[in-house]
Structure 1
Amino acid sequence: MLYQNFQNISLSSLGFGGMRLPVVDGDDGQIDEEKAKALIDSAIYEGINYFDTAWGYHKGQSEIFMGKALTAYPRDSYFLASKFPGYDTANFPKVQAIFEKQLEKCQTPYFDFYLFHNVNESNIDFYLNPKYGVRDYLVEQQRLGKIHHLGFSTHAELPTIRRFLEAYGDDMEFMQIQLNWIDWTFQQAKEKVALAKAYGLPVWVMEPLRGGKLADLSDDAMAQLEALRPGVSAAEWGFRFLQTVPGVQMILSGMSTIGQLGENCHIFAKSAPLNQEEWDTLQKIAKAMISKEEVPCTACHYCVEHCPQGLDIPKLIALYNEQHFTGGGFIVPTRLKTLGAGHLPCDCIGCRSCEKVCPQNIKIADVMKQFNAELLANDRAKI
């Protein structure tokens, strides 16, 4: 197992994510404890020493399971991370009660790592509001030794991340972002890595394979990669990409089977970063994958001036591209929520005034109609 030095402690380069544990009969709130415990035991045997959980994972059961499973090992033999659940703004007045409950659920006197969870456009004002005292409380817990290292996770856009760092950057010790070879450009991960560097923060990686999407590539993509490194799996290409990005210290993977764990640990037995040709080939494949789904908006904003509804059409198209490529997820609904009623895809009246000035000849009204249909379909699927 590869290890990284973080403030004079040795962290396994591969971290065990507690969000995709094996479950019973497809019920995310019912962890298959026998299979999940076997995963924890195997992870520790393979040298993984970083375990990540959170308040909301597995409908609140992940922290309980992780606490139970890890009590079999000396507390100083592993590093445990959890998070304040700021994704739900109703939690902000309850930071103390939640933190104390998390310690109880995890059966631990302290967290090695603790994060401001999912800083985004819908909760940034809550995080920064001194009325709730989240920052002050967590910094105090660090002073008391109940938190050893503070950081934050985010899927937000760059302006929101900058706001957070301008306010709390001096308190942060690491920054956790969605990073993989698709999102290097698609979700501005390149710029986020640069921002972390500007603040002197090492990068923790989530979604290294984009929920498994990058572990199953087309025959054409694999043929291009096979010519460069014969016998290398799509998953390994994803992890080798991350080994090439400066500043990355922790790569989290939600492993659900012993097979996934074994493959990942085999990959992390050595460092094998990409050369320039390999990097460029991955980016070429990424561009082709995205372009199949992406609406080619250049954000010139001519359309906005001609929209009688005042819609931020370039922003909506960017969100459509994410929604359409991903096929769901929480990023798009979270960002749409911040736009509010009257500014959503469903508010397009189909007048096509915007299309008359679009240099790319995008059928914007059709895109908004399709976007709204996909959002409604996803909502129905949750019922």
Structure 2
Amino acid sequence: MIYRTLGTTNEKVSVIGVGGWHLGLPRVSEQESVRIVRSAIDRGVNFMDNCWDYSEGVSETRMGRALRDGYRDKVFLMTKIDGRSKKEAARQLDESLKRLQVDMIDLVQHHEVLRFEDPHRIFDEEGANQALLEARAAGKIRYLGFTGHKDPQIHLHMLKVAGEHDFRFDAVQMPLNVMDAHFRSFEKLVLPELVKEKIGLLGMKSMANGILLKSGTVTAIECLHYALTLPTSVVITGIDSMEVLDQATQAVESFRPLSGAEVDDLLARTAEAAMSGYYEPFKTTSLFDGTATNPQWLGEEPKRLQDLFSK
């Protein structure tokens, strides 16, 4: 396994992380999900991804069971919360702690920052970041980050609003893949800012749940090697079988940074397929937007603003 440093935290994290969403899928049994997590850890993978809303909590519950028997001490554990209000964020965090069967989570991220209003709600005096700051002070979490998959301009806006509140994130998660480079690109717009600020860079959707592979322009190993060549701390990848785990670890074992010519070749092969965003539907549709389908996860708007609106 290869390890990299997560931003300025001095934490050494495996370049491949286990994506939690796949662990709760109906086609994956609880026994198999536990086997996947523990086998990954035994192979040196120490970054575990999850989220409060994945499969109505099933993914966190299964990961919690997998981390029993000494496995918790071997991993850097991350989960995400959807709440924008302080009250809802605190509630979701406490649920995640119970499901994961831990007293502390290494990294908690504001999930699905997809709308330009999200940063303002999160950093409101009654917002979610207040809940996470209090949880950090109480020893429930160590580091804070945010995620999003819709538009790099929203990521930049989130970083700007955070700066206006004198806050610096420890990590940021975003799509990084061979097609992102051509369309509404996080790699071109957000990645340089994170590198400059030395913020931990978490890549996701390297294959977009296999959708990129359906273009017939690139292989799974090429997708992983491309994302690993970028200055990512971790490339989080969905693993729903031992065969896919084998594929991920083989990608690490065979990895060497792609040359400029190899990158150019991959980008040339994927350019036409990527131009419309068709193979990145998380950017162009609402199909991947859990908080759009379930707005109640966000919590209520600040009361003083509700009062202002009602007057």
TM bucket (normalised to shorter chain) is 0.7 to 0.9
Q: Give yes or no for contact 1:152–1:174 (8 Å, CA) kept in 2.
A: yes
1:216 is displaced (CA, Å) by 4.7
Once the two structures are superposed, the pairs formed by residues 238-253 of structure 1 within 5 Å of their partners are: 238-245=223-230, 247-253=231-237
Aligned: 1:191 with 2:189: yes
1:248 is displaced (CA, Å) by 0.7
Q: 1:331 to 1:56 in 2, by over 3 A?
A: farther
Greater Rg by CA = 1
Match of 2:74 in 1: 77
1:217 is displaced (CA, Å) by 5.0
Aligned: 1:165 with 2:165: no
SS at match of 1:54: coil
Match of 2:88 in 1: 94
Distance 1:330 1:244 in 2: 23
Q: 1:181 to 1:164 in 2, by over 3 A?
A: same
Q: Give 5+ residue unaligned stretches, structure 1.
A: 223-233, 295-321, 338-383
Distance 2:171 2:133 in 1: 14
Match of 1:4 in 2: 4
Query: Which range is displaced more, 179-188 or 196-205?
Result: 196-205
Which of 41, 49, 56 is equivalent to 1:52? 49
Q: Give yes or no for contact 2:177–2:226 (8 Å, CA) kept in 1.
A: yes
1:110 is displaced (CA, Å) by 0.4
Q: Give yes or no for contact 1:155–1:331 (8 Å, CA) kept in 2.
A: no
1:123 is displaced (CA, Å) by 2.8
1:325 is displaced (CA, Å) by 3.9
Which of 30, 33, 36 is equivalent to 1:36? 33
Q: 1:325 to 1:244 in 2, by over 3 A?
A: closer
Q: 1:244 to 1:55 in 2, by over 3 A?
A: same
Q: Give yes or no for contact 1:2–1:271 (8 Å, CA) kept in 2.
A: no
Distance 2:195 2:201 in 1: 8
Match of 1:263 in 2: 247
Letter aligned with residue 211 of structure 1: N
Distance 2:150 2:211 in 1: 21
Figure out how many residues of one structure are paired with residues of the other and give that number: 281
Match of 1:341 in 2: none
Match of 1:201 in 2: 199
Aligned: 1:62 with 2:59: yes
Distance 2:92 2:59 in 1: 15
Match of 2:295 in 1: none
Letter aligned with residue 12 of structure 2: S
Query: Which range is displaced more, 91-100 or 251-260?
Result: 91-100
Match of 2:263 in 1: 279
Question: Cα RMSD between the aligned structures?
Answer: 2.2
Distance 1:279 1:57 in 2: 33
Q: 1:135 to 1:80 in 2, by over 3 A?
A: same
Aligned: 1:128 with 2:113: no
Match of 1:182 in 2: 179
Distance 1:135 1:23 in 2: 30
SS at match of 2:22: coil
Q: Give yes or no for contact 2:120–2:161 (8 Å, CA) kept in 1.
A: no
Once the two structures are superposed, the pairs formed by residues 230-379 of structure 1 within 5 Å of their partners are: 234-245=219-230, 247-291=231-275, 294=276, 322=277, 324-326=278-280, 328-329=281-282, 332-333=285-286
Letter aligned with residue 171 of structure 1: R
SS at match of 1:171: coil
Letter aligned with residue 55 of structure 1: W
1:253-302 CA-to-partner distances (Å, cap 9, x unmatched) read: 110110010111111125311111111111111212135xx3xxxxxxxx
1:343-374 CA-to-partner distances (Å, cap 9, x unmatched) read: xxxxxxxxxxxxxxxxxxxxxxxxxxxxxxxx
Match of 1:300 in 2: none
Distance 2:143 2:133 in 1: 10
Match of 2:112 in 1: 118
TM-score, scaled to structure 2 = 0.83
1:136 is displaced (CA, Å) by 1.8
Q: 1:181 to 1:16 in 2, by over 3 A?
A: same
- Identity over aligned residues, as a percent? 23
SS at match of 1:61: helix
Match of 1:374 in 2: none
Letter aligned with residue 162 of structure 2: Y
1:38 is displaced (CA, Å) by 1.4
SS at match of 1:68: helix
Letter aligned with residue 108 of structure 2: Y
Q: Give yes or no for contact 1:152–1:175 (8 Å, CA) kept in 2.
A: yes
SS at match of 1:209: coil
1:12 is displaced (CA, Å) by 0.9
Letter aligned with residue 193 of structure 1: L
SS at match of 2:240: coil
Q: Give yes or no for contact 2:229–2:258 (8 Å, CA) kept in 1.
A: yes
SS at match of 1:120: coil
Aligned: 1:140 with 2:134: yes
